[in-house]
Amino acid sequence: MDGLDDIVEEFLVESHENLDQLDSDLVALEQEPNSRERLSSIFRTIHTIKGTSGFLAFNRLEEVTHVGENMLSRLRDGELALTPHRTTVLLQMVDTVRALLASIEASGGEGSVDVSAAVAAVTAAMEDAPAPAAAPVEATVEAPAEPVAAATATTTATTTATKPAAKPAAKTAPKTAAKAPAKRAPRGKAAVPAPAPVPADELIEDVTTPVPEIRSEEPTPEPTPDPALDATPDAPEQEAPAAEGTGGQPRRAVADSTIRVDVDLLDELMLLVGELVLTRNQIVQNVARQTDTDLIRASQRLNLIASELQEGVMKTRMQPIDHIWSKLPRVVRDLGANLKKSIRLEMEGRETELDKTLLEAVKDPLTHLVRNSVDHGIEAPEARKKVGKPAEGVLTLRARHESGQVVVEVADDGAGIDPQKVGAKAVERGVVTPEALARMSPQDILQMIFLPGFSTAAAVTNVSGRGVGMDVVKTNIESIGGTIEVESDPGIGTVCRLRIPLTLAIVPALTVECASDRYAIPQISLQELVSLDAEKAANAVEEVGGAQVYRLRGELLPLVRLTDVLGLTSERHDGHVVIAVLRSEGRRFGLVVDRVINTEEIVVKAVGGQLKQIGLYSGATVLGDGTVALILDVQALARRALRTETAERQESRASVSSAAAAETERQRMLLASIGGGRRVAIPLDTVTRLEQVRADAVEKVGNREVVQYRGAILPIVRLDRHLGAYGESDREVLEVIVYADSGRSVAIVVEEILDIVDGEAAVRSDIDDLGLLGSAVLGDRVTELLDVRAAILAADPAFYAGHAASSPDPATPAGVPGSYLEV
């Protein structure tokens, strides 16, 4: 079976079942020859086998089922009457089909089974009026050569020619094969190493030939059981050598080793196992408090068995991801040809298994992602050559198990996604405000491709780019409790990563306590836990514009207090902070809870409509001690908490006069002294370069100072003069901060560059002056926050004129320094 294709295997299982049904149907049909229903059922079975065999290129199988189907359709339509003889030939046809299936099962090919006689018999029975059984069958072997010639020219001829020789052997062979596919199967393999080609078959035909021969000798044979019986004595002799030849070990036939089970039944089992797991949790928890060793031992066994049972039941629903991947090479090939792209598809981890339901659910999203990559990700061959990549693009599908989830990646080595383009598009579509965009990291910006109505494709092709798509993909993935994120390196490629739970019914979760209630957080979203004692928390949890953040290994992690989200009051007063670091949509955030209880397997229970509407809970579960706990929907939580916080921040900014200050607070700042002991902080992201310029290189244009710099004229503003802090101006080398935008640059001269600091811990005051946004304590000293815009305008009043539309504050009338309006 190893060599068999999955499709063939499935076909065999299905056909064997159908054939069993067919036998009893045919016999029953004899009793009530006019049952249209039964005839239809038989017809359908044969039709199905015929269709599939044609598809799988089993030509002889197709041929024999084809004539059978013809006869059946005429019987069904009442053109022919069912006579015992016709029943016999139909059964004969069924036996031939069985023999073919057995051969396919054993060797993967049709082997040496001859179908011509069956075909002839059926054809003759169709032509003939009811006649005594013996005569016509005799005729079928000789006469049919003509009617069926077209279809079976070669085989028929051979059969007729070798008939005498074949007879003895033929008597038993096919029937035994049909009766006991398992044991006899190897023979086909031994006899016919190369199954498919007809000429090869012809040579062997005389050794093992078909059912029909027997029929012609035994005019009215018993349909099934008897031949098998009388076959038994000689069978072993024939079988033995062949069996040894193939290694002796009879394998379990496909049909015997698998069983079809209703998915509903599996669902039911899964549900029961879920309940068992819950009960197990309760018992284990209770027993932990007991001292009875026998009880403890029993509970440990229960624990083990329940886990294994759960795993086993889960396995019954598992299928390799290859089931849905196997369609994709074709998709990629066709699409690639369509778009004149050459693409190689690589697959890693195709044997990775996941729940059948989930598999079905990711099929469409995955196909969509692949189409997307082919269409938009991978460039045309010329474009690829231009940037020095091989003309052939590579699309890689990867699947693996990772901490109780399945991670599926669709990676291409295409052009990648440009965050700037995505950002611009988002602003254009009104999805995000320019201000909000400016604060987003490139990674966050990329995730916006999953927003509804968002397509970055320059052209709408018939493949994708209609603006429905990524958001649907995301919705679908989230509906099964999965997550999706995108990573992209412009010029190098894009990776879409799906994280899918192994199964829906039972999920590992972290239980936490918040305001004395317990909540479950699915572990699929959980990255790590951070616990801070009071002393540490006081330092490590910082505030940015009213929002709390924690510096996790140097990165700012926005904190969301679960109590705030839920409108509750925390009952933890000792200052300890417990943070569950969660990931949602490629962003991380920290959920502050009162305490972490433990991890346990929870069974997801649906909640009523009223609670679904709240949009914060994905369900509920019963914990080990019998109490109900709500399961937090991390995606919804992130969306709600992070968005409302952003909105609040924006509101507060609008109300505070020094609007830009709040923004600069969160940024990394360049600290510079400007003389007279004064220090200014300049947002680092407005700084293009730091340079040193010789003082004697400074020239004058009108009353402005300029310096030649990289072949251009760079206007200079001396910050000390601009801010009225006259320092010593006779230095030989000037420290210059170059700020560039849209091809224009200005140089800001400071006394000395001091440091780069994180500005978020700043304590800000409203004491300000012309050219400043305010002041703050940075590095233990009061530092002035520079109004960069005003400083730049002082150096080059026309600086923003060239691109007024994209200037930070379009409302500023031309020529009026922004500082007058902003401060």
Choose one: 9-17, 450-458, 617-625, 795-803; the region binding another protein (CB under 8 A).
617-625
Q: Residue count at the site for another protein (CB under 8 A)?
A: 23
Contacts with another protein in 743-802 (CB under 8 A)? none
Strands across the sheet with 595-603, in order?
A: 595-603, 506-514, 517-522, 628-632, 617-622
568 binds another protein (CB under 8 A): yes
Contact (CB, 8 A) for 92 and 125: no
Comparing CB distances to another protein, the nearer of 28 and 628 is 628
Q: Which of 102, 411, 620, 641: binder of another protein (CB under 8 A)?
A: 620
Comparing CB distances to another protein, the nearer of 40 and 282 is 282
Least distance to another protein from the beta carbon of 613, Å?
9
Q: Which of 608, 677, 813, 815: binder of another protein (CB under 8 A)?
A: 608
Choose one: 373-381, 613-621, 775-783, 786-794; the region binding another protein (CB under 8 A).
613-621
Least distance to another protein from the beta carbon of 605, Å?
4
Q: How far is CA 103 from CA 1, 153, 514, 816, in A?
A: 12, 22, 65, 90
566 binds another protein (CB under 8 A): yes
Comparing CB distances to another protein, the nearer of 275 and 571 is 275
621 binds another protein (CB under 8 A): yes
Q: Which of 247, 626, 676, 810: binder of another protein (CB under 8 A)?
A: 626
Q: Of 721, 589, 703, 604, give the one whose Cα is nearest residue 643.
A: 589
Helix (H) or strand (E) holding 753: strand 752-758
Q: Which of 325, 454, 550, 617: binder of another protein (CB under 8 A)?
A: 617
Query: What is the 3-class SS of 65-84, one letter each residue?
Result: HHHHHHHHHHHHCCCCCCCH
Q: What token pair was written down for 172?
A: 């038993």
Contact (CB, 8 A) for 456 and 425: yes
Q: What angle do CA 41, 43, 47 make, to 5 degrees?
A: 120
Least distance to another protein from the beta carbon of 617, Å?
7
Instruction: Please count the other Cβ atoms lying within 10 Å of the Cβ belonging to residue 267.
Output: 13
- The Cα–Cα gap between 356 and 361 comes to 9
Comparing CB distances to another protein, the nearer of 126 and 568 is 568
Q: What token pair was written down for 173?
A: 């062979």
Contacts with another protein in 89-128 (CB under 8 A)? none
Contact (CB, 8 A) for 359 and 323: yes
Least distance to another protein from the beta carbon of 631, Å?
10
Choose one: 99-107, 260-268, 611-619, 703-711; the region binding another protein (CB under 8 A).
611-619
Comparing CB distances to another protein, the nearer of 274 and 683 is 274
Q: Which of 102, 125, 278, 582: binder of another protein (CB under 8 A)?
A: 278
302 binds another protein (CB under 8 A): no
Which long-range contacts does 751-754 make (Cβ < 8 Å, 24+ apart)? 751/672, 751/673, 751/674, 751/675, 751/720, 751/727, 752/672, 752/673, 753/670, 753/671, 753/672, 753/690, 754/671, 754/672, 754/673, 754/679
Q: Which of 57, 165, 240, 628: binder of another protein (CB under 8 A)?
A: 628
Give the list of residues 6+ apart from residue 566 with CB closer than 8 angstroms, or none.
514, 515, 616
551 binds another protein (CB under 8 A): no
Instruction: Please count the other Cβ atoms lying within 10 Å of the Cβ belonging to residue 701.
Output: 9
Least distance to another protein from the beta carbon of 633, Å?
12
373: DSSP letter: I
517 binds another protein (CB under 8 A): yes
Contact (CB, 8 A) for 572 and 595: yes
Contacts with another protein in 413-472 (CB under 8 A)? none
H-type alpha helices, 687-759: 719-722
Q: Which of 256, 275, 699, 809: binder of another protein (CB under 8 A)?
A: 275
616 binds another protein (CB under 8 A): yes
Comparing CB distances to another protein, the nearer of 323 and 639 is 639
Comparing CB distances to another protein, the nearer of 628 and 821 is 628
- The Cα–Cα gap between 634 and 445 comes to 20
Least distance to another protein from the beta carbon of 118, Å?
53
Least distance to another protein from the beta carbon of 568, Å?
6
Strands across the sheet with 541-544, in order?
A: 526-532, 577-584, 587-593, 555-561, 547-552, 541-544
Least distance to another protein from the beta carbon of 221, Å?
56
569 binds another protein (CB under 8 A): no
Comparing CB distances to another protein, the nearer of 468 and 566 is 566
610 binds another protein (CB under 8 A): yes
Contacts with another protein by CB under 8 A lie at 275, 278, 517, 566-568, 605-608, 610-611, 614, 616-617, 620-622, 626-630
